[in-house]
Chains A and B, each alone.
Chain A
C-alpha cells in the first residue's frame, strides 16, 4: 500500500510539473503571471509532510525535471529541491506562527526554486517574484485548507 501511495505521488508530481511548465509556457508573454503548482507541493512537503517517504518522491520528480525540461545534469534539480525542503522545514520549526511568516517562507522557497533566474538581475527579479508569489501563496492556502483532513473538525 505504501509503495502504491508513493507511486501515485510520483506520478502526481510528474503531472504537476507538466501542468506548471505547460501553463507557464502559455503565459510566457507576460512576466508577472506564473502558476507554480509544483512549488506548492514542495512547500507542502516542507512544512506539513516532511517525512522519509517524501525523499524518494522529490528525487524522482527532480530527475523528471532534469530529463525533460532542463539542460542540467541528471540529479541537479533533485539536490535543489531537497535543499529547499530541508531549509524551509528547518526555518518553519523555528519561526513564530503566522500568515506573514509563512508567506515569507513561501517567498524564500520560490527564491530558491527560481534562483537561476534571480541571480543575473537580482533587484528586478525580487520584485517580480514577490508579485508572482502573492496569488500563488493565496492559492496554496486555499488548497491546503481544503485538503487538510481536520478542516471539518475545525471550530468556526
Chain B
C-alpha cells in the first residue's frame, strides 16, 4: 500500500526466528509430554484472574461514607439499601430454587451412592471454540469423566485436566466422538458436526430398532452408564449389519448452562 512504510527485510528474519523459537518450545513440550506447559501453568497461575460466580459480597450498608451524614439521611439510605438487599435476596432465592429443582432432577437420574456429582460451570470459551469448566485436579477429575446436563444426558467429556479447571469436548463440537452401548450390548460410535449427532454401529449383535437409549460404559473408560442419545423418536437405518441414525442437535451449551460433573467414587 505505502512503499515508504515497507520494513527492512531483516524484520521478516526476526519473525522467522520467532517462529523457530516457538517451534523449539513446541518440540520440548511434545517430548516432555506437556510437562513444560503444565509446570509453567502452575507457576504463573497468578496471571489468570480467578473467576468467581457469586457477586453478592458488596454491601451498600457497609460503606463508611454514610456514617458521616445526618441520622435522617442515614436512616433513609439504610432503608433503601435494605430494600435493595431484599430484592437481591429475592433474586438469589429464585435462582437457588431453580438450581434446587435442577439438582433434584439430576439426583433422580444418578445414583449418588456410586457417583460423585459436582456442579460446574463454563468459565471460558476460547477462540478455537474450546470450553473450559471450573474444577480440575483439585476435584480429582480425570480425562474421560463425564459432564451431564440437568436432564442427565451426557453433553461433554473431559479432555484435559489442569489444576483448577478442565477442558471439555462438547456434543456440539465437530470433533466430538464418544463410544456407547445399548441394552442389547451393541456398540456404537457417536459423533457430531455441530448440527446433527451421528450414530454409527461398531459391533451389532442384535438387529433391533427398539434401542431407545445409548449409554456410556465403564469399558470405554467412563465413570458409568449415562444416556448419550435417545433413539426412540428417531428414524434408524439398518443395512448390511450396520446401524445408522441422525439426530438433530437441539442442545446449545453456554455460559448460563447448568452442568454437572460425574466421577466414580
Residues on A lying within 8 angstroms of B by beta carbon are 14, 18, 20-22, 24-26, 28-29, 36, 38, 50-52, 55-56, 58-59, 62-64, 66-71, 73-76, 78-79, 82-83, 85-86, 89, 92-93, 95-97, 113-114, 116-117, 120-121
B63 within 8 Å of A by Cβ? no
Contacts of A63 in B (CB 8 A): 25, 40
Contacts of B7 in A (CB 8 A): 50-51, 89
Q: Which of A29, A38, A56, A116 contacts B255 (CB 8 A)?
A: A29
24 contacts between A and B (CB under 8 A): A18-B49, A21-B126, A28-B255, A29-B254, A29-B256, A36-B127, A52-B14, A55-B18, A56-B18, A59-B18, A63-B25, A67-B41, A69-B130, A70-B126, A71-B130, A73-B29, A74-B28, A76-B26, A78-B21, A83-B19, A85-B15, A86-B15, A86-B16, A117-B127
Contacts of A22 in B (CB 8 A): 124
In terms of DSSP, what is the predominant structure of the interface of chain A? Answer: helix
- Flag if A62 contacts B22 (CB, 8 Å): yes
Contacts of A114 in B (CB 8 A): 127-128
Q: Which of B11, B129, B194 contacts A52 (CB 8 A)?
A: B11
Of all chain B residues, the one with the shortest Cβ separation from A64 is B47
Q: How large is the interface on B (under 10, 10 to 19, 20 to 34, 35 or more residues)?
A: 35 or more
Contacts A18-B49, A51-B11, A78-B18 aside, 8 further interface pairs with beta carbons under 8 A come to A18-B48, A21-B125, A59-B18, A73-B29, A92-B1, A95-B1, A114-B128, A117-B128
